[in-house]
Amino acid sequence: MDNQELIAQVTEKARKWLTPAYDAETQAEVKRMLDNPDKSELIESFYKDLEFGTGGLRGIMGAGSNRMNIYTVGAATQGLSNYLNECFKDREQISVVVGHDCRNNSRKFAEISADIFSANGIKVYLFDDMRPTPEMSFAIRHLGCQSGIILTASHNPKEYNGYKAYWDDGAQVLAPHDAAIIDEVGKIASAADIKFTGNKALIQIIGEEVDKVYLDKVKTVSLDPAAIARHKDMKIVYTPIHGTGMMLIPRALKMWGFENVHTVPEQMVKDGNFPTVVSPNPENAEALSMAVALAKKMDAELVMASDPDADRVGIACKDEKGEWVLINGNQTCLMYLYYILTQYKLLGKIKGDEFCVKTIVTTELIKKIADKNHIEMLDCYTGFKWIAREIRIREGKKQYIGGGEESYGFLAEDFVRDKDAVSACCLISEIAAWAKDNGKTLFELLLDIYVEYGFSREFTINVVKPGKSGAEEIKQMMTNYRNDPPKEIGGSPVSVIKDYQTLQQTAADGTVTPLSMPDTSNVLQYFTVDGTKVSVRPSGTEPKIKFYIEVKGEMKSRADYDRLNAASEVQIEKVRASLGI
């Protein structure tokens, strides 16, 4: 399609938004784009429909079919309402929870969604203000609802907003519901199909009454309150980066017994523009810079930052030289599960039916810890909905004790079904207190885990290939890796290949065994004789292909850490050369 043809197509599509079904503000914005001689904004806003995918909606805010606005959000809610009314038609009253984060328009989108649900005869529990995603997940189960949504774009830049849909177990929707909801949303042809006029009698505002129950439940995650009592004055710095964490995390830390928690004042301000950071992503060092500066000033021992919807947490602590360092998602996941297993053993809580979960791209050291402690460790696909699925399958039969992923998410409890920065912040603070009780810093605890279980270094590489040609290039890369897999990586022979698209595992001798997974996924994994693991996965939402690299080493003492860290960087470069990235 040439540019003139594309302009004609988007112009025709945009003109349909100049009808009375759309409000005056939207019509004015569309007219402005149509009148602008530069058609690039018009094309970006209308060249496709913002798709309701398996993770819901996520996009830049603005007028147009490819933007987050009251009409794209409205279509998603109308489609979900139609599906709920079909699925639960025998129920006297279907109910949902509606939550939102701090982003611009999040409250507006939440209120409009509440109106649409209620207009379709569905009872709505609408939070009175922004709340963390994990609390919304908890509320679904607590209130006996059939679904829930939260308006959030997680840690994306300020221009974005998003819409996540959850099912009655408190987890994000999975098959068969995900595809069925997508079908229903696809049937909404225009704004005229959306019931915007709400039934206020069916909308109930909730807040503190749910906060209290949720926080009381989060308190039950604590395993060593005595250690906290002995170190209640430990200096902790926390920042919500302008987001929902400010509503509950300082309060939760106080309930756990921490009395010396300091927040970053400039970032305790609710603001969807995130004015103090480049990006509100706790995976980035820059997002923690103000918190670390405050920690240096007051000689604190721990820094924590939650993302805007408070499901992820970034952590920093002092290393053996007293320098502040970031602890990555693999390392925090490792420490959480190490601590939980250690405490379960000390408390005599191991009954033999416990299990933990990690995603396939998360460090393999977790499996070593689980195996040594005779705990079942399950691997699942990337995304917390898959961890939630493992919990649901075993509910009432086995005891979930924790699960996490490399992208800074952890869940220590089963009363929430998504990653939870509220409990994670409290738990890592308890781990720091427990380490102090044992004469260690948090960083020294990490080093001691490496000494006991082996050193591991993880590195993620994003290869970006924009445009249509880029998408074809990524597809070809996966085909090449599949059809002509590497025989060695970084100088070590490949011993096992896992292909999650064919669900087959191939050993070096050619032996093929099936992989037991709930669905196929376009992911390849290579394991080498020296313990290196490489996972290759095209992004489902962005024009890039991701390489997750994990290299190993033997660590005999804490003193080996710097040497192994330096050696791992050299090894990672060798791995990159082997893969041609």
Phi-psi region of 105 (alpha: psi -120 to 50; beta: other; left: phi over 0): left
Q: What is the CA radius of gyration of the chain?
A: 24
Give the closest residue to 369 by CA, choosing from 273, 473, 466, 446. 446
* CA atoms of 296 and 292, how far apart (whole Å): 6
- Give, in degrees to the nearest 5, the angle at Cα 387 between 386 and 390: 90
CB 326 within 8 A of CB 288: yes
C-alpha to C-alpha distance for 276 and 526, rounded to whole angstroms: 41
Q: What is the DSSP letter of 56?
A: B
Catalytic residue flag (residue 154): yes
Please report, for residues 79, 456, 523, 561, 563, the alpha-carbon distance to residue 567 in angstroms, rounded to integers and kept in the order given: 53, 11, 28, 10, 6
| Options 81, 154, 306, 429, the catalytic residue | 154
| Interatomic CA distance for residues 172 and 56, integer angstroms | 9
Residue 528 CA to residue 487 CA, distance in Å, equals 9
Task: Measure the CA angle with vertex 561, ends 557 and 563; round to 5°.
Answer: 115
Residue 37: Cβ-neighbour burial (10 angstroms; 0-12, 13-18, 19+)? exposed
Helix (H) or strand (E) segment spanning residue 125: strand 123-127
From the number of C-beta atoms within 10 Å of its C-beta (0-12, 13-18, 19+), residue 104 rates as: middle
Residue 487 exposed, middle or buried by CB count within 10 Å (0-12, 13-18, 19+): exposed
Q: What is the DSSP letter of 20?
A: T
SS3 of 359-427: ECCCCCHHHHHHHHCCCEEEEECCCHHHHHHHHHHHCCCCEEEEEEECCCEEECCCCCCCCCHHHHHHH
> Alpha helices of 225-328 — where are they, by DSSP H?
225-230, 245-256, 289-298
- 8-state DSSP, 172: B
**Taking the chain, what is the end-to-end CA distance rounded to the nearest angstrom?**
32
* Residues belonging to the active site: 154
